[in-house]
Structure formats: structure tokens, C-alpha cells
Amino acid sequence: MRSQKLVMAGAILLGAISLSGQLPEISFTFVPPQGSDANLTGEVMNVNPEDHRVAVYIYVHGWWTKPTNAQPLSMIDSGGNWVCDITTGGADLVAKKIAAFLIPVGYDPPILNGTAEFPVDLQVTALASIQVDRQSVNAFHFSGYDWDVKTSGGFLFGPGPNVFSDDLENVWVDAEGKLHLRITYRDGQWRCAEVISNDSFGYGTYRFYVDSPVDALDPNVVLGLFTWSDDPAYSYREIDVEITRWGDAQDPTNAQFVVQPWNNPGNLVRYTIPQGSAPTTHSFDWQADQIAFASHDGAYAPPPDVTPLLTQWTYTGPDIPVPGDEQVRINLWLVSGLEPIDGEEVEVVISRFVFIPSVVPPPKLTFLEMDDQGNLQLSYAGIPQLLYNLQSSPDLDQWTKVQSQISDEATFQFSAPSPSVSEKVFYRVQVPVQ
């Protein structure tokens, strides 16, 4: 997918009703794509432009005042239109979020320089506000979900810090639907990779299928499989599987399970992925009272299949986060920004990501027809990457499995032989243990 993506939050109207009897409104009329230095434009309605201004902020590891601290307000013309230069320095070009607040003349908006959240005073005073999320031009689809690609625009971003690139040399999905992350060396610069799910999932099992032999990763390389929220509450809701030696080539362990903050006693367990283990599967089951981690030697398959267990750990401590707006992230980066010890570029292949909700809802039948060969075609809406069984029964008592499939997407199809005129057959889709 190569088109710029925007996720717009509708105007939040917080102020009093205007003299016209309508609520004040603010909107964006043009949002520059990520990487563009074009101006942001918008309009306001149901207010007197002379009596109001617009305060604009962009998010680059925190919220920043735009266009500058010395000029924190944008004027509104007589037609209700306004313009703001949002690329006045630093990594502004790659800002992920843009917000605008309609405020009355006389109110001095807070000057923000990397603040995690908007001050309550601003939110209360604003008559209306709007926010948009921007995505990389190389946002993509993988394992049934949409994902964004992190880019730092050539600047050093955490973790590391490192330069993160959304170039197709660093992140791509191949013809088999597998995700490739690659650390490259270009123009005298090491470039790392990170991808971010559009969706927020909450309680449930997060399962990552890794094709590459990650036991042999360079000691300065980190593969992260984790959740993260920009909201600092609950230590950013970060739950990690991290595969790394943290720069120590002699460390006999090469991976860890972590509940943040990592330095709280009992929040981190190191373990070893044996030499030659590939593929491997790494997961955590996040519940309100515990987080159960596991790593398996091989591509995990649901029971009755058995996938050898490498290690497991269950955390029941005080730092279990509460779900919020966390997203899934997968990254490949360099410890302290140091180059790989062997000086070679690094690539890791992720074949699948699976999320299993704590309570899996039954799939919904969306379409039913008989094809030209007399077979029933059934379409369902469910959850990507889950295993579903089509079963049949003559009496709603004894059920027989007709077909099984892993749904590549949120919609999937089954085909079943049509019963004869004198035959009665019932069908259902069962969700087995995942």
C-alpha cells in the first residue's frame, strides 16, 4: 500500500453554544502527508474569527507547540480559514499526530516541548478541537491487520537511539505474506526498523511466529515483540519479549520476558533460545491478574498438535497494565545505536502475528449460496489468523468436522456438499482451542 493514510478524530466540541445557536467547530482542510513540508490548513465555523485563534501541536515523542514557542497561535481570516507551518525544525516532518484547538482571544495556550499529554486547562478552555494521526506512505497489511512503519526522518529516535527508516529496504511483506525487518547501512548510517499495528487489542494472547534463527542474532541487535502506548500511564502499557544479548557476546542467555518497568524486582526473566532453533514462536497472554509468557521451538500449532516448549513464565506482580490505546509493535534495532559487532546488515522474518481475545466471539455468517456444482458456499466474519472448524450434524446432537482452516483475514469462506432433497443437515462453525 503506497497511499498516505490519515486517521481523523472528529471535532470535539467543548465550548458553549454560539450566538447563532450552533456549536463552534474546527476542522482540517489539508493535512500534509508525512515527510512533506507543506503547511497545515483548516477552518472554523460558528464563531467570530476576530475573537478566536487556533493553537496547533504536533506529536514527535511528545507534543510540541507550532509553529514556534514565540508564535504559538494561528490567525483566522474573515472566512474562517487558518494556516499553520508545522515543520519549523527538528523531526517535524515525521510527526505522527497533529492536533488543533479553537481558543478565545486572551487565552494563552500552554507552550509544550515534548509533553506526553495535553494540560487539562487547554482541553477545558478550548471551544473545539480536532486530532489526526498520520501514517507512513509505506504502511502495509500483514496477518490480517493494517500496520504503520516508524520513520525518524534521519534523526535519532528511541529505542537505542537509532535512525528508523520506512524504506522498503528496511520493512516489506513478501509474496508469501511474511514480514521482513532489516537493519541496513546506507550513506554512512545504520538504519533500523519498527512496525506498529493500527489496532489496539487489550486482554488476550499475543503470538509472534519468527522464521529466522534468532539465537544467532548479533550481540548488539535487539528483536522486540511488544505492546506500547504513547500514554505514560502503566509504564506505557509495555509488555515485552526481547531477543538480545545487550551487547555482551559472552552472555549465555539471549532473550527475556519483561513487564515494565523492567527494573522493578521480579519484572524480568532472562532465558536462552538454543542454537539452531528456527522457526520459533513467542507469546504472552495478558489478563487482569497475570501475564503468561511462553516461547516454543517451532511454529506453534493448537492442540492436539504439540509444539516443544522452550520456556515459560507467569507474572502476577503489581505492574500488570490496564488496557488503553496500546498497539502491537515489532522492532529490530541496535543497542545504544552501536553497529553490529560483525559489521553485517541484519534481517529477521516474521511469518505470522496472531491475537486471540480472552473471549473469542463466535463468527458471524455473512453470506450463503449454492454454487453451480451444488455445493454450499458459506462466508463468515471472524478474527484473522484463528483456526475455525466447519462441522455438520443430522440432528444437532452428533457433530462431525467437515473442514478446518486458518482465516487469513477477518472474513473467510467454507464450502460444503449440499444435502439431498430427503436429507437434513445442520452446519456450524466451531472455534477450537487456539
* pTM of structure: 0.92
Mean pLDDT (whole number) for 366-378: 90
Residue 159: predicted pLDDT:
98
In contact, 196 and 327? CB cutoff 8 Å:
yes
pLDDT higher than 90, residue 163: yes
Residue 298 CB partners (closer than 8 Å, separation 6+): 279, 280, 281, 307, 308
Residue 236: predicted pLDDT:
97
pLDDT higher than 60, residue 32: yes
pLDDT higher than 90, residue 137: yes
pLDDT tens-place string over residues 69-104: 999 999 999 999 999 999 999 999 999 999 999 999
Residue 7: predicted pLDDT:
47
The pLDDT-based confidence of 258 (bands split at 50, 70, 90) is very high
CATH architecture assignment, domain 6-134 = Sandwich (2.60)
The pLDDT-based confidence of 20 (bands split at 50, 70, 90) is low
CATH 2.60.120.200 positions along the chain are 140-357
% of the chain residues with pLDDT over 70: 95
pLDDT higher than 60, residue 6: no
Residue 191: predicted pLDDT:
99
pLDDT higher than 50, residue 265: yes
Averaged confidence pLDDT in the chain: 94
Residue 38: predicted pLDDT:
98
CATH 2.60.40 positions along the chain are 6-134, 364-430
In contact, 268 and 261? CB cutoff 8 Å:
no
Is the CATH number 1.10.260 carried by domain 364-430? no
Of the candidate CATH numbers 2.102.10.10, 2.60.120.200, 3.60.150.10, 2.60.40.1180, the domain formed by 140-357 belongs to 2.60.120.200
